[in-house]
Structures are given as C-alpha cells and as structure tokens.
A = this chain, B = another copy of it.
Amino acid sequence: MGKLRVCINGYGTIGKRVADAVKLQEDMVVEGVVKTRADYSCELIRERGYPLYAASKESLESFKKANVKVEGLAEDLFKKCDVVVDCTPEGIGAKYKPVYDSIGVKAIFQGGEKHELVEASFVAEVNYEKALNKRFIRVVSCNTTGLSRTIGYLDKSFGVRKVRATIIRRGADPSETKKGPINALVPNPAKFPSHHGPDVQTILPHLEVVTGAVVTPTTLMHVHVVNAELKSDASVEDVVKCFSRSKRIRLIDAAKGLDSTAAIIEYARDLGRKRGDLPEVAVWSDSISVIGREVFYMQAVHQESIVVPENIDAVRAVTGSVVEGGKSVMLTNQSLGLI
C-alpha cells in the first residue's frame, strides 16, 4: 500500500499544525493545502514544499495579485486525495461536505462542526474503532478532547457515574488581537450545561456530564476543574496509575514548578516542541484527590495543538490503514515526539 494522500483544507491554527504533522508520518504525504487568501504563510508553505491550492476562483485572483504561485483549485486537489482534513473555520466544513461527497473523498472535520454532520465523533484513545472506514468523521474540540481523554481513562478503569467540570477558558489564541476579554471573567454561557458536556457525550454516550464554562483574559491554555463520581473505589495512586497508562495524558507536578499554564508552555518550549506545543492533556498530579468515590483533579489543555495527533490518527482510522487505535497512537506520538 502506498502512502496515504492527505490534503489540508484551511491553513490556520489547526491546519498548519496538521500539515506539519502529516509531513512527519512515514505512511502519509501532504498532497496539498488549500488557502483562501495570500498572506505571510504562503512563503512558509512554499519552503515546506506543500503544494498550494486556491479555495475558489476569487481566491485564485487574490493569489495572482499577490504574485503567489498556486497549483490549481481546491477541487482539483480533493480529487487526488484519500482524505481531506478540513481545518476551515467553524461552520464552513458543513458547506464543504457536499463537495467532498460528490468527489467521493473522505473527510475529517474539526470540533466547530456539528456531531450530526458526521458518522462518528473521534478521540483516538477512547473510540478509534468507531471511525474505522467511515467517510465523514469529526475530531472534537480541544476542551472536549481533553475532557474525553481523562474521563475515558477513568471510565475504563473504574467506571464513571457522573462528571461535573468547570472549564476555565483562555480568551484568545496568542496571535488573535481582536478578541477579548482584557480584564473580565465571562460566563460562557451563563447556563448549564455549556456545550462541552453534551459534546463529551458524543464520545462517551453512556455518561452524565455537566459542564460550566467561564472565559478569562489569557491566551495559553484552558484549565479544567473536574469532579468525577466513580462506580468503584479508587485511591489517588490508582488514579495516577490509570492516567499513566494513557499515551496522551501527561502528569505534571505543580510542586516541581509546573504550577501554571505559563509554566507548562515554558516547559513545552524547553522540550524543543515545535511552536511550543503540548498536544498531551496536562494533569496536575498534585491536584488528584479522592473523597469517598469522587475524584477531583485539575488539567490544562493546549487549545492550539491538542487535536493535532487526533487528526493524524483519524486519517488512519477512516482509511482503515491501521485497524488498532493503540498502534496508530504510538506511530503518531513517535513521529511528533510526544511523551
């Protein structure tokens, strides 16, 4: 079997990371990336050797004006691929689906699209097999991915009866200068549950999950304060062991200085991670507490990168090129240098 031909539609926060991650896979090739507008990243795309395609005829004009060479239109690219990783902004993926459908190319959407759009929502270590050989799946959002990873492992080990989680959101990504807040805490929304609870249920449908979310003036990571009622007894050590078995959960110690989202990102930079990314969900091991059958813990989610390895695994799942989720997770982690 030849390499999987993958293209990336959209070259924003997720798309540019997925492209770089695909390039690192021995079983995949970046067949091309689709962009709407010419900007500084076109030169990076050229340097990295990714064939560039225009999203539409109007885009084509803007590339011509900017003197940027493109290989053709998005649809030309889609026809040459096994899988499109759709990294377009929220809601745009749904508009592209009929295009993918008529061309007959498989597609992986992001968490901005609705669960109803696809055959399965996806978190590699929780439900890889659900995505096997499907045409359309969705990698869930950063917060949902982070929650599903740890709750999924708790559920596998002890059974989970109920989850209550507070999501303390970053306000914007580091390069987003038009978003706030600058000095406020913003219930997002002032309602329970926030969309995250039901979204986790697209991955773990048998669980009761209630979430509330508040936005803060930070750019680095989200923080989750999680309470899970277990079905069986577990000690703090049992929970630590349970999380240690995951290849996408990184246990960190506040006591050793990793005591904030800023310290964690500094650590990712020290590790030499590209862009200072940390695709693992970081769980503060100091925070893991057990009271009766309830476990409490805090975790941090790097919103820009946590879904990147999931997208790589998703490519293998929908093509059926790797049948066993654990094997794909291992291949992806090795290529990206995770944990």
Contact = CB atoms under 8 A, between A and B. Distances in A.
Interface stretch (A67-75, A138-146, A214-222, A242-250): A214-222
Query: Which among A164, A192, A262 has the greatest number of chain B C-beta atoms within 10 A?
Result: A192
A184 interface: yes
The size class of the interface chain A forms with chain B is 35 or more
Interface string A147-189: 0000000000000000010101010000000000101111101
A259 interface: yes
B220 A291 contact: no
Nearest to A296: B192
B286 A191 contact: yes
A225 interface: yes
Interface string A251-266: 0001100011111000
A287 B185 contact: no
Nearest to A295: B192
Given A166-B166, A291-B210, A187 B254 contact: yes
A227 B225 CA distance: 12
A185 B223 contact: yes
Query: Which among A184, A217, A227 has the greatest number of chain B C-beta atoms within 10 A?
Result: A184
A137 interface: no
Contact of A168 (B164, B168, B259, B262): B168
Contacts of A263: 184
Query: Which among A216, A223, A289, A300 has the greatest number of chain B C-beta atoms within 10 A?
Result: A216
A314 interface: no
Given A214-B168, A225-B212, A227-B164, A298 B190 contact: yes
A91 to B, nearest CB: 23
Interface in A185-213: 185-187, 189-193, 210, 212
A184 B214 contact: no
Contact of A260 (B185, B218, B254): B185
Query: Which among A168, A170, A284 has the greatest number of chain B C-beta atoms within 10 A?
Result: A168
Contact of A183 (B212, B218, B222, B289): B218
A329 to B, nearest CB: 27
B227 A190 contact: no
B296 A189 contact: no
A190 B164 CA distance: 18
A168 B298 CA distance: 13
Please name the 3 residue pairs, one residue from A and one from B, whose CB atoms are nearest each other, closest first: A184-B262, A190-B254, A166-B166
5 contacts: A183-B217, A185-B216, A190-B284, A190-B287, A191-B289
Interface of A: 164, 166, 168, 170, 181, 183-187, 189-193, 210, 212, 214, 216-223, 225, 227, 254-255, 259-263, 284, 286-287, 289, 291, 294, 296, 298, 300
